[in-house]
C-alpha cells in the first residue's frame, strides 16, 4: 500500500516535472520571413536547453491584437507573448496582467544589454515588463528605378518633396502609395508631420491626451497633409488595400514612395529588394529638431503564465547577443542588444538615420490610448478621403479625446 | 402500458442544459455587462445604469451601422426573395440539365462567408478586379467604380456580394415549398382557363405562403446577423461607412476595450431580432389555427 502511494507520488511528480518543461509562446510574427527567423531562434533554444519543450503558436497580426487580452486574463495563459513597447505594454502592466522581468536582469543591468533610451519604453512604475528584441526605423521607402528614370534625387525639404511628387504625377506614376484598410499606415503620416511641424514634446503631449485636437498647431499638421491629398499624390482608393496590397504598387513600379517601417523588406519579392531604398522624412521647419519613429518589438510574460521560470529562461536567451545577432541578420532588422552591429549596409544606414536624430517616438497606436488610436486613425482615413471635412473631423477627434482622457 | 410523463423531459435535459449554459446565461450576462463600464481587461467594473444606451443615440457610427443593417434587410427581402422565387420556379420545370443547373445555383450556399468575402474582395478590387476590368473591357470604363473605398457605394457592394449566397438560399426554401403545392389545384385552374400568370398569382403563391414566411424571416434575421462578409472585405471601413451592428459591436468590444458599450449594442441587436422572431412565431401559429 505504502509502496503504491510512493509510486503514485513519483508518477505525479514526474508528470508535473514534465508539464513544467513546456514553454508556450504566442507569437504575432505571421509574415513568412519573420516566422521562419523566429523558428530558427526556437530551434537554437531547444538545442541548448533540451529540458524544455517550446510550443509556438503563431497568429495573424490583427487577430493577435484582439486575442492577447483574452490570453492575459485566462487561466491557460501562454508563458511568453510577443508585443509592442510603450503605451501598448503599459496598458496591461498597470492592470497587473504582466510579470515584472527584473530578476531576468539580476546579474546584469538592463542597460548592460540595451541602449538606455529603451528603458522608458520597457518599464512601468519603475519595473521592467518588456524585453526589447528588435526595432526598426520608419522612413520614406522609394523605388530607385523610378527615381533614376525621371532623374529624381531623394528630397530633403518639404518643397523638394512636393516637387518630386509633382514630377512623378506628371509622368503618370502614383507618387505615394498607402493602404489604409487596416488604418495604421495613416498613423505614420500623422506622427511624422506632427513631429516635423511641432516637434517631439508637443507630439508626446498630444498622444498623451494633454493637448486638444482643435489646437491651431494640430490643424497646421493637417494642412501640410492636405497639400498632398488635394494634389492627388496618394494612391487612389487606398482604403480598399491592406498595407501589403499597397506595397505591391511600389514593387511593381506603379507607385514611387511609401512611408513605411523597415519590415516592408519582409514582403518585398527578391528581385525588388535591391531596388528599394529610403530617405529621411522631409524637413518642414528647420527650427524643429529631427525626430524619427522607431517602434520596438519584443516579448512579455503574462502574470498568469504557467511556467514563469521557463519563460524567464527563454526571455534571457532572447536578450543574448548571439540570438539577437542571428535574428537581426536574417531579417535585416536592428537588434535591441547594443552589442549587435547592424546586419547589413541597409540597416547601417537606418541606424545612422536614427543616431543622427534628436529623439524617437514609437508610433501613434503605441503612444496613445488604444481606443483613441482606433478612432483617430479612422478619422485620418476619413480626412484623406474627404479633406474638406477637416474642421468637423478635428472637432470629433477632440470630443473623443475628452471622453477618453478624463 | 402506462406512459411515464417525465421521459421526454429526461431526453431533453441534456440539450436544455447546454442551451442554458451557452445561450440563455450568456444572454443575461450580456445584458448585465451592458449596464457597466467594463473594459474586458480590468478585474472590476462599475455599474453606470443606462449610460451606454444613452451614448448609442449620439454615436454617429452606431447609427450608421444601424442604418446599414436596414439596407441589408431591404436588400435581402426585396431582392433575394423575388429572384430566389423566380429561379425556384424556373428550376421546378422539367428540362434537360435541370439537375446540373440546380446544383450550380446551390453552390454558393456551400461556401462559408469568409471564403465568399475573400472571393469578392478580389472581384471588387478597384484596379485589377473582375468587375472593373470587365466594365473597362466593354467600353463602359466610366462605370468602373472604387466599390470598396467609396463610402457611398461600399455597403451596396457588400450587400451585392452577400446576395450571391442569399439568393441561392431563398431558392432552396422555395424549391422545397413548391413540392407541397398540390398539383390537382394547378390542373384545376388550368382546366378553368387560368393563364400561367393567374395560376402563379392565385394558386401557387398562396400555397407558398408558409415557405414565404420562413424565407422572409430567415432573410431578415440573416441581414441583422450580417458580420462575416463585412469583416472580411472591409472591416466596416472606410471609416465605418460599411459598418453593421455586429461589426461595430466587435470593434468596440474587442478592439477598443469597451465591453460594456459593445454589450449594449448586442442587446439592441438582440431585441430587434427578437421582434422578427416573434412575428414569425405568430404567423406560424396562425397557420396552425387555420388548419
Tell me the percentage of chain B whose pLDDT exceeds 70: 98
Could you tell me if A169 and A305 are in contact, meaning their C-beta atoms sit under 8 angstroms apart? no
A positions 92-121 inside 8 Å of B (CB)? 92, 95, 97
Whose cell is 487561466? That residue is A75
Tell me the pLDDT tens digit for each residue of B197-255.
888 888 888 889 889 988 999 999 999 989 999 999 998 879 899 999 999 999 888 88
Residue A18 pLDDT level (bands cut at 50, 70, 90): low
Cell numbers that stand for A22 in this block: 513546456
Chain B residues whose CB is inside 8 A of the A240 CB are 124-126, 146-149
Among A137, A38, A73, which residue's Cα sits nearest to residue A349?
A: A137
Could you tell me if B170 and B83 are in contact, meaning their C-beta atoms sit under 8 angstroms apart? yes
Number of H helices and E strands in chain A, helices first, is: 19, 14
Tell me the pLDDT tens digit for each residue of B171-203.
999 999 998 888 888 888 888 888 888 888 888
- Per-residue DSSP letter, B180: T
Tell me the pLDDT tens digit for each residue of B28-83.
999 999 999 988 777 788 899 899 999 898 888 999 999 999 999 999 999 999 99
Asked if A74 reaches chain B (Cβ–Cβ under 8 Å), the answer is no
Residue in B148, B232, B238 to test binding to A, most A beta-carbons within 10 Å:
B238
**Cross-chain Cβ contact A240/B149 below 8 Å:** yes
pLDDT at residue A13 tops 60: no
A131-135 and A123-124 beta bridge pairing: unpaired
Predicted local confidence at residue A115, as pLDDT: 84
Could you tell me if A147 and A256 are in contact, meaning their C-beta atoms sit under 8 angstroms apart? yes
For residue B12, give every residue at least 6 positions away whose Cβ sits within 8 Å of its Cβ, in sequence order, or none.
none
B214-217 CB contacts, 8 Å cutoff, 24+ apart: B214/B173, B214/B280, B215/B81, B215/B84, B215/B170, B215/B173, B215/B174, B216/B77, B216/B81, B217/B276, B217/B277, B217/B279, B217/B280
Distance from CA of A167 to the nearest CA of B (A): 22
Count Cβ–Cβ pairs < 8 Å, chain A vs chain B.
Answer: 67
Whose cell is 473582375? That residue is B130
Residue B291 pLDDT level (bands cut at 50, 70, 90): very low
pLDDT at residue A50 tops 50: yes
Residue A66 pLDDT level (bands cut at 50, 70, 90): confident
**Cross-chain Cβ contact A371/B239 below 8 Å:** no
Q: Report the run of H or E that residue A140 belongs to, with start and end.
A: strand A138-143
Mean residue pLDDT across chain A: 90
Tell me the pLDDT tens digit for each residue of B130-166.
999 999 999 888 888 889 989 999 999 999 999 989 9
Asked if A69 reaches chain B (Cβ–Cβ under 8 Å), the answer is yes
Average the pLDDT over A175-185 and give the result. Answer: 94
Q: Which candidate from A97, A183, A378 shows the least CB-CB separation from B41?
A: A97
Residue B108 pLDDT level (bands cut at 50, 70, 90): confident
Q: Which candidate from B126, B234, B257 shows the least CB-CB separation from A371?
A: B257
Question: CA A117: distance to chain centroid?
Answer: 16
User: For residues A247 and A267, what is the distance between their CA atoms, to the nearest angstrom?
Assistant: 8
Chain A residues whose CB is inside 8 A of the B59 CB are none
Tell me the pLDDT tens digit for each residue of A262-278.
999 888 998 898 899 99
User: For residues A252 and A117, what is the distance between their CA atoms, to the nearest angstrom?
Assistant: 38
Residue A278 to residues A22, A257, B210: CA-CA distances in angstroms?
Answer: 42, 9, 66
Chain A residues whose CB is inside 8 A of the B125 CB are 240
Q: Which candidate from B239, B254, B258 shows the least CB-CB separation from A378?
A: B239
**Cross-chain Cβ contact B251/A374 below 8 Å:** yes
Among A30, A383, A238, which residue's Cα sits nearest to residue A249?
A: A238
Asked if A231 reaches chain B (Cβ–Cβ under 8 Å), the answer is no
Q: CA of A382: which chain B residue's CA is closest?
A: B239
Amino acid at each position: 500500500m505504502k509502496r503504491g502511494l510512493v509510486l503514485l507520488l513519483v508518477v505525479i511528480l514526474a508528470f508535473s516535472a514534465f508539464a513544467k518543461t513546456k514553454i508556450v509562446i504566442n507569437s504575432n510574427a505571421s509574415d513568412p520571413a519573420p516566422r521562419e527567423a523566429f523558428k530558427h531562434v526556437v530551434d537554437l533554444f531547444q538545442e541548448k536547453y533540451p529540458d524544455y519543450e517550446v510550443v509556438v503558436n503563431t497568429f495573424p497580426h490583427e487577430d493577435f491584437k484582439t486575442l492577447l487580452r483574452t490570453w492575459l486574463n485566462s487561466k491557460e495563459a501562454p508563458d511568453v507573448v510577443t508585443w509592442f513597447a510603450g503605451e501598448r505594454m503599459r496598458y496591461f502592466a498597470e492592470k497587473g496582467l504582466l510579470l515584472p522581468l527584473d530578476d531576468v536582469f539580476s546579474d546584469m543591468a538592463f542597460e548592460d544589454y540595451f541602449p538606455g533610451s529603451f528603458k522608458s519604453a520597457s518599464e512601468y512604475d519603475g519595473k521592467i515588463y518588456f524585453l526589447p528584441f528588435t526595432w526598426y526605423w520608419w522612413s520614406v521607402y522609394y523605388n530607385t528605378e523610378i527615381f533614376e528614370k525621371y532623374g529624381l534625387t531623394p528630397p530633403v525639404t518639404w518643397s523638394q518633396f512636393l516637387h518630386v511628387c509633382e514630377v512623378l504625377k506628371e509622368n503618370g506614376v502614383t507618387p505615394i502609395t498607402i493602404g489604409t484598410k487596416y488604418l495604421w499606415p495613416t498613423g505614420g503620416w500623422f506622427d511624422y508631420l506632427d513631429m516635423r511641424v511641432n516637434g517631439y514634446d508637443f507630439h508626446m503631449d498630444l498622444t498623451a491626451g494633454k493637448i486638444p485636437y482643435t489646437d491651431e498647431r494640430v490643424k497646421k499638421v493637417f494642412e501640410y497633409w492636405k497639400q498632398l491629398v488635394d494634389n492627388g499624390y496618394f494612391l487612389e482608393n487606398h482604403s480598399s488595400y491592406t498595407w501589403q496590397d499597397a506595397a505591391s504598387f511600389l514593387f511593381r513600379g506603379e507607385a514611387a514612395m511609401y512611408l513605411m517601417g523597415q519590415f516592408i523588406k519582409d514582403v518585398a519579392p527578391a528581385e525588388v529588394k535591391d531596388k528599394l531604398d529610403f530617405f529621411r522624412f522631409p524637413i518642414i521647419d528647420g527650427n524643429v529638431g529631427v525626430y524619427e519613429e522607431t517602434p520596438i518589438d519584443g516579448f512579455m510574460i503574462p502574470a498568469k503564465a504557467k511556467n514563469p521560470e521557463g519563460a524567464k529562461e527563454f526571455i534571457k536567451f532572447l536578450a543574448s547577443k548571439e540570438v539577437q545577432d542571428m535574428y537581426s541578420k536574417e531579417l535585416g532588422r536592428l537588434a535591441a542588444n547594443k552589442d549587435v552591429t547592424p546586419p547589413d549596409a541597409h540597416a547601417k544606414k537606418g541606424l545612422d538615420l536614427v543616431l543622427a536624430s534628436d529623439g524617437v517616438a514609437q508610433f501613434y497606436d503605441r503612444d496613445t490610448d488604444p481606443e483613441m488610436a482606433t478612432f483617430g486613425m479612422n478619422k485620418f482615413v476619413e480626412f484623406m478621403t474627404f479633406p474638406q471635412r477637416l474642421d468637423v473631423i478635428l472637432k470629433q477627434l477632440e470630443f473623443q479625446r475628452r471622453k477618453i482622457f478624463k | 402500458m402506462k406512459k411515464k410523463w417525465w421521459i421526454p423531459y429526461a431526453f431533453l435535459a441534456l440539450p436544455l442544459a447546454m442551451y442554458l449554459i451557452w445561450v440563455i446565461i450568456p444572454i443575461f450576462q450580456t445584458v448585465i455587462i451592458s449596464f457597466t463600464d467594463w473594459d474586458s481587461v480590468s478585474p472590476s467594473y462599475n455599474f453606470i445604469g443606462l449610460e451606454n444606451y444613452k451614448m448609442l443615440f449620439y454615436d454617429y457610427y452606431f447609427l450608421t451601422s444601424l442604418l446599414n443593417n436596414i439596407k441589408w434587410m431591404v436588400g435581402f427581402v426585396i431582392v433575394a426573395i423575388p429572384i430566389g422565387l423566380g429561379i425556384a420556379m424556373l428550376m421546378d420545370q422539367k428540362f434537360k440539365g435541370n439537375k446540373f443547373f440546380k446544383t450550380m445555383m446551390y453552390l454558393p450556399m456551400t461556401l462559408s462567408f469568409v471564403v465568399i468575402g475573400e472571393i469578392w474582395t478580389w472581384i471588387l478590387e478597384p484596379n485589377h478586379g473582375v468587375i472593373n476590368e470587365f466594365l473597362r473591357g466593354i467600353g463602359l470604363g466610366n462605370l468602373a467604380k472604387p466599390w470598396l473605398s467609396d463610402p457611398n457605394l461600399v455597403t451596396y457592394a457588400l450587400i451585392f456580394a452577400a446576395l450571391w449566397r442569399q439568393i441561392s438560399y431563398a431558392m432552396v426554401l422555395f424549391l422545397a415549398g413548391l413540392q407541397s403545392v398540390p398539383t390537382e389545384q394547378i390542373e384545376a385552374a388550368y382546366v378553368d382557363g387560368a393563364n400561367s400568370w393567374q395560376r402563379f398569382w392565385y394558386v401557387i403563391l398562396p400555397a407558398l405562403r408558409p415557405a414565404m414566411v420562413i424565407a422572409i424571416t430567415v432573410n431578415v434575421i440573416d441581414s441583422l446577423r450580417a458580420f462575416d462578409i463585412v469583416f472580411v472585405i472591409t472591416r466596416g471601413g472606410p471609416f465605418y461607412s460599411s459598418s453593421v451592428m455586429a461589426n461595430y459591436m466587435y470593434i468596440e468590444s474587442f478592439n477598443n476595450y469597451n465591453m460594456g458599450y459593445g454589450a449594449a449594442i448586442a442587446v439592441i441587436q438582440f431585441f430587434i431580432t427578437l421582434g422578427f422572431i416573434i412575428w414569425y412565431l405568430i404567423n406560424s401559429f396562425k397557420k396552425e389555427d387555420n388548419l
